[in-house]
Structure 1
Amino acid sequence: MAEKRGGSWGEGELYDALCLLMIGVCCWIIGAQFHVFAALHGFILAHDLSNQLMLGLVMGFAMMVVSLRKSLKLRQAMLERDATTARAESIARHDALTGLANRRLFLEAVEARRRATGAEPSSAVLLVDLDRFKPVNDLYGHAAGNAVLCAVAERLAGLLPARGVAARIGGDEFALVVPLEGGSEALARLAQAMIGSIAAPILWNDNALKVGATIGIALITHDDADAEVALHAADLAMYQGKKDGRGNYRVFKSAMDVELKARAQLESELRAAIMNGEIEPFYQPVVSLPERTLIGVEVLARWRHPTRGLLAPARFITIAEETGLIADLSYRLLRQACRDARDWPVHLQIALNISPQQFQDAGLSERILAILNETGLAPNRLEVEITETALVQDLEAARTTLTSLQNLGVRIALDDFGTGYSSLYHLRELKFDKLKIDRSYVDTITMSDERAKLVDAIIKLSASLGLVTTAEGIETDASLDWLSTQGCDFGQGYLFGAPMPKSEIDTLVSIDPAVIKARLAA
């Protein structure tokens, strides 16, 4: 095919040349017939030149025109090729959606700054990770997500200092490399301006989309092995900002690298622990008030680590949520708890907290039903606890899941009530069976009149809605007496017993109810 195309191109050139030659000859004949070239004819006669020679000159001129035309076309083809190459290179080095530099171009820019850096850092990398971007994508669709990304890119470009480079390096991750002019204070002002700008609502199809940003900052030093090192340092700082509550900025410190390695080690151990059954359910008694009669237990995770000892949930639940291990962990705990509860008196319930990530799973109710069927535990003996965080992400999905669970006979409790920003709205929109008053209120009800009034209001609100209440974290008789007087239905806390393994809870539930009551009151 290549040879054929080449031959066709040669025939085209020959055709062009013959046409120009014929045009030249025709012009010469017409000009000679009508004496247009009279002066030229006189010159030919005066110098004894033949018409054939002049015809040859005309034909030579025609060939020169052919060559010139060919050169111009070749020049145009070369320019088009260069433009196409430049466009392809630009596409390969820029993000197609936002128009910012991509990861490849950004790393080249960082590497150039690293090589130019002397004893003191002269540039810095800022890594920007969007907060609450996934809910926007899930709730409004990818078109809305793309609109957010483009708006963020435009805002970052507007804040970019001279000689800076802005890039989109991942799904919802952006990065900037900026000159270190004005010192750390200028970097801090830039980071704060970026956080504030990104937090402003983004209008899309009559919706105000809101996201946030957490920023990690790292100085580029000549000691860095390559550009990836500086970017990794900024990533560590950004991760620290996420841990500290999001919507902030953090500057890289060497201790962050040590902490990240320790976390990575713990994450690896956690994966193995879940598979090997090292994480087991512990059970904390829940009693009726004021009688202190045992009515059920809350299931709490404990990790029997081979070297670190018995670990509380605060040491590993957050990691499980961030790494997507929480679902597997929760279902394993629920399965074991259901098996344990089969041997207890049938009036005892078990309560298990479901993470916000699990609550976004449309198949949650089917998974729970499968476990109940597998273990033989009656659905009305299970209580699922959820926090308001799960509801904020997608209210309609939460409504569907809650309805499905309740149709199975499972009870639903709103956990940590009073700590969210829209509790009353959720009580109005969704149907719950129980409210759990957060321990932060219970701890101080006997020491703070304001807290006592709030807890009293929650108890009365719950009763008016036909819900029961459980107070968490009861540790003193004074708190117990006050809650009982105000009409709180149930309580749990160290006053009645700490979370205990299966062997201890089995012993507790196997004795006479009167003895249990006396023991819980002791």
Structure 2
Amino acid sequence: MAKRGSWGEGEFYEALCLLMTGACLWIIGAQFHVFEELNAFVTRYGLSDQFMLLALMGFAMFVASLRKSLLLRSALRERDAAARHAESIARHDVLTGLANRRLFLESVERRRAEAGQTPAHAVLLVDLDRFKPVNDIYGHAAGNAVLCAVAERLRGLTPSTGLAARLGGDEFSVLVPLEGGSEGLVRLAQSAIAAISAPVLWNGNELKVGATIGIALISAETVDADAVLHAADLAMYQGKKDGRGTYRVFKSAMDLELKARAQLEIELREAIQRGEIEPFYQPVVSLPEKTLIGVEVLARWRHPTRGLLAPAAFIGIAEETGMISDLSYRLLRQACLDAREWPGDLQIAINISPQQFQDRWLCERILGILTETGLSPRRLEVEITETALVQDLEAARTTLTSLQNLGVRIALDDFGTGYSSLYHLRELKFDKLKIDRSYVDTITMSEERAKLVDAIIKLSASLGLVTTAEGIETDASVDWLSGQGCDFGQGYLFGAPMPKEALTALLQAPSDHGMESVAPRKVA
């Protein structure tokens, strides 16, 4: 079959057909005397038949050329439409239909080039909170539904002269004019947080996420569009540090803080290698006897210039940079070596981070450390948070079962602050629940908190689990927890985290250190 648009085949054939059609019309016209009046006019020149034949065939060629022109114009229009569509795809997010990073940066750059000394536009960088658990628990289809809902809500809040974009993953951004000044910008940020926090209905489920927003103003002093986004990102990061679900406006001090953090990261990496991160031990006692039965291993950094640093100063950095595994395994190894000098039934508990829990060789690594140090697995308790479980429940089940088969006890840490506590209690077998300190420190002052703690203790007992209450600081809390059936306690009332030497001295000293007996006993 001839290809349309090729004069060598298709169009030559069509032109020939049109010429033949013209010839046929001439024959028909001559046969039925259609051209007689015209013949009378042209006969004097003796060109009647030839003239009519050429005229009709010329008309046919004109029709062919006109058709070719129309087809060409149609093809050009289709090409332009396809080009516009391709350009639109290249500048818009396929899932949400919002502008993508490329288009957003181009728009910000245009506003930066037009900016004067007084900022006229601002960028809001929106990062979703609690989005990963939605993906992990309900699947990517649910995650996509949330992203589309967030995009639609941001589109509705964006002024007609602004631009909403999805930069990638669960990160969005909005370019807006400062028409209402700083107050209008604050109202927009608050409205965006409120809108995004509203539940998204999906397959009968209410999917809930939040948002943290970083704001950066665009001025003539701004280097480029990337610098604007970087500033907004720093402000957003500050909002995350301050508790999420809020907004922060970029200040130059944030950049200085980021540089200080980068320096601390370098120092932390070196400190881990030099062994400057060491284990401290906080007593865990039985209730109501207050008998010392174990310790929790807590990291402390003996910084050469900043002194002794608590975990809050560096654990977050270690987790974000992937140094947490090396740090934790070194702590565990040292703690196992220290525990060999203490009574044989004194337990040690150590927290395993969510990042470590994704290591398929976690169980083998822990077993290797126990074998190397000679510590019995029955003296070790591994504490995990629910964040470590939601990423891959089946992998978590396999790892926990393997550890328990070795004799290692498993505790669910910070119970009551996670995503789906009851679900995990049903699906996984734990040995202990640790009640988060945020509940414990208010039980004597808040009736609602007291009821919650009482419910957790009863739930734990019904499942055959023991409970440890963290953050105990008063005798009144001890009496209340003991009365409700809590098994163990931990907090400054019984002792602050201490180095190995202090704990060794405590174990060897007479029982006048705030506990009735320092001779540890095996946990029932």
Partner deviation per Cα, 1:381-435 (whole Å, 9 max, x = no partner): 0112344655677777766655544343222334455767987887777654445
Contact 2:193–2:210 (CA under 8 A) maintained in structure 1: yes
Separation (CA, whole Å) in 2 of partners of 1:240 and 1:20: 75
Q: TM-score, normalised by structure 2?
A: 0.85
Q: CA deviation at 1:366?
A: 4.7
- Within 5 Å, which residues of 2 pair with 1:438-477? 438-439=436-437, 448=445, 457=454, 461=458, 465=462, 468-473=466-471
Question: Matched residue of 2:179: which SS?
Answer: coil
Secondary structure of the structure 2 residue equivalent to 1:135: helix
- Contact 2:165/2:174 (CA < 8 Å) preserved in 1? yes
3-state DSSP of counterpart to 1:188 = helix
1:337 aligns to what?
335
Task: Give, as a single letter, the amino acid of the residue that structure 2 aligns with 1:231.
Answer: L
> Equivalent residue for 1:131?
129
**1:144 alignment counterpart:** 142
Q: 1:471 to 1:139 in 2, by over 3 A?
A: closer
1:185 corresponds in structure 2 to: 183
Unpaired runs of 5+ residues, structure 1, are none
User: Per-residue displacement from partner, 1:297-337 (whole Å, max 9, x unpaired)?
Assistant: 22110112233232111211222233443333223322222
Q: Give 2:197's match in structure 1, choosing from 196, 199, 204.
A: 199
Task: Tell me if structure 2 keeps the 8 A contact 1:462–1:468.
Answer: no
Deviation of residue 158 (structure 1)?
1.7
Question: Which residue matches 1:517?
Answer: 511
| Partner residue, 1:86 | 84
Q: Which amino acid aligns with 1:517?
A: S
After TM superposition, the structure 1 = structure 2 runs for residues 317-332 of structure 1, keeping only pairs within 5 Å, are: 317-332=315-330
Amino acid at match of 2:295: V
The one of 207, 210, 213 equivalent to 1:212 is: 210
Match of 1:237 among 235, 240, 249: 235
Q: Select the residue among 251, 255, 258 that pairs with 1:253.
A: 251
The answer (yes or no) to whether the contact 1:129–1:213 under 8 Å persists in 2 is yes
Give me the CA root mean square deviation.
3.7
CA distance in structure 2 between the partners assigned to 1:457 and 1:53 by the alignment = 110
The 1:211–1:519 alpha-carbon spacing in structure 2 relative to 1, beyond 3 Å, is closer
Distance 1:291 1:327 in 2: 36
Q: 2:111 maps to which residue? A: 113
1:222 matched residue in structure 2: 220
Query: C-alpha separation between the residues in 2 aligned to 1:249 and 1:267?
Result: 26
Q: Secondary structure of the residue that 2:128 maps to in structure 1? A: strand
Map residues 271-420 of structure 1 onto 2, 5 A cutoff. 271-288=269-286, 293-359=291-357, 364-387=362-385, 402-416=400-414
Instruction: Please report how far the alpha carbon of residue 57 of structure 1 lies from its aligned counterpart in structure 2 after TM superposition.
Output: 3.0
In the superposition, relative to structure 1, how do residues 71 and 416 fare at CA in structure 2: closer, same or farther (>3 Å)? closer
Q: For residue 319 of structure 1, what is the amino acid of its counterpart? A: I
Confirm or deny that 1:62 pairs with 2:51. no
| Secondary structure of 2:511's aligned partner | helix
**Cα contact 1:217–1:234 (8 A) shared by 2:** yes
Q: Secondary structure at the match of 1:156?
A: helix
Q: Using a 3 Å threshold, how does the CA distance of structure 1 residues 51 and 140 change in structure 2: closer, same or farther?
A: same
- Change in Cα spacing, 1:146 to 1:284, as seen in structure 2 (3 Å) is same
For 2:511, give the aligned amino acid: K
Q: Given that residues 44 and 51 in structure 1 are in contact (C-alpha distance below 8 angstroms), is that contact kept between their aligned partners in structure 2?
A: no
Q: Secondary structure at the match of 2:8?
A: helix
Structure 2: segments with no counterpart, 5+ residues = 517-524
How far residue 117 of structure 1 moved from its aligned partner, in angstroms, is: 2.1
Q: Secondary structure at the match of 2:344?
A: coil
Q: In the alignment, residue 269 of structure 1 is paired with which amino acid?
A: E
Distance (Å, rounded) in 2 between the aligned partners of 1:463 and 1:136:
27
For 1:471-486, list aligned pairs within 5 A.
Answer: 471-473=469-471
The letter of the residue matching 1:35 is H
Decide which moves more: 385-394 or 139-148. Answer: 385-394
* Structure-2 separation of matches of 1:14 and 1:423: 77
Q: Output the CA distance in 1 between the equivalents of 2:452 and 2:511.
A: 26
Change (3 A) 1:419 1:71: closer
Which amino acid is the alignment partner of residue 182 of structure 2? S
- Is the partner of 2:159 in helix, strand or coil? coil
TM-superposed CA distance for 1:267, in Å, is 2.4
How far 1:162 moved relative to its partner? 1.2
Q: Which moved more, 1:80-89 or 1:11-20?
A: 11-20
Question: Structure 2 vs 1, CA of residues 429 and 84 (structure 1 numbering), >3 Å: closer, same or farther?
Answer: closer
Residues 5, 288 of structure 1: alpha-carbon distance in 2 compared, 3 angstrom cutoff: same
Q: State the TM-score, normalized to the length of structure 1.
A: 0.85
Aligned partners of 2:271, 2:481: CA distance in 1, in Å? 39
C-alpha distance in 2, partners of 1:65/1:499? 95
Task: Work out whether residues 411 and 433 of structure 2, in 8 Å CA contact, stay in contact via their aligned partners in 1.
Answer: yes
Q: Measure how far apart 1:250 and its partner are.
A: 1.5
Answer with 52-61 or 299-308: which moved more. Answer: 52-61
Say if 1:413 and 1:433, in contact at 8 Å, map to a contact too: yes
Q: What is the letter of the counterpart of residue 180 of structure 1?
A: L
Q: Does 1:165 align with 2:159?
A: no
Q: 1:231 to 1:487 in 2, by over 3 A?
A: closer
Higher mean C-alpha deviation, range 170-179 or range 321-330: 321-330
User: What is the DSSP-based 3-state SS (H/G/I as helix, E as strand, rest coil) of the residue aligned with 2:301?
Assistant: strand
Q: Which moved more, 1:291-300 or 1:167-176?
A: 291-300
1:228 aligned partner, one-letter code: D
CA contact (8 A) 1:155 1:198 kept: yes
Percent of matched pairs sharing the same residue: 75
Structure 1 residues 103, 33: closer, same or farther in 2, change over 3 A?
same
Query: Given that residues 110 and 227 in structure 1 are in contact (C-alpha distance below 8 angstroms), is that contact kept between their aligned partners in structure 2?
Result: yes
Corresponding residue of 2:43: 45
Distance, in Å, in 2 between the alignment partners of 1:454 and 1:164 is 49
1:357 deviates by: 4.6
> Deviation at 1:354?
2.7
Q: Is the 8 A contact 1:459 1:488 kept in 2?
A: no
Of 412-421 and 59-68, deviating more is 412-421
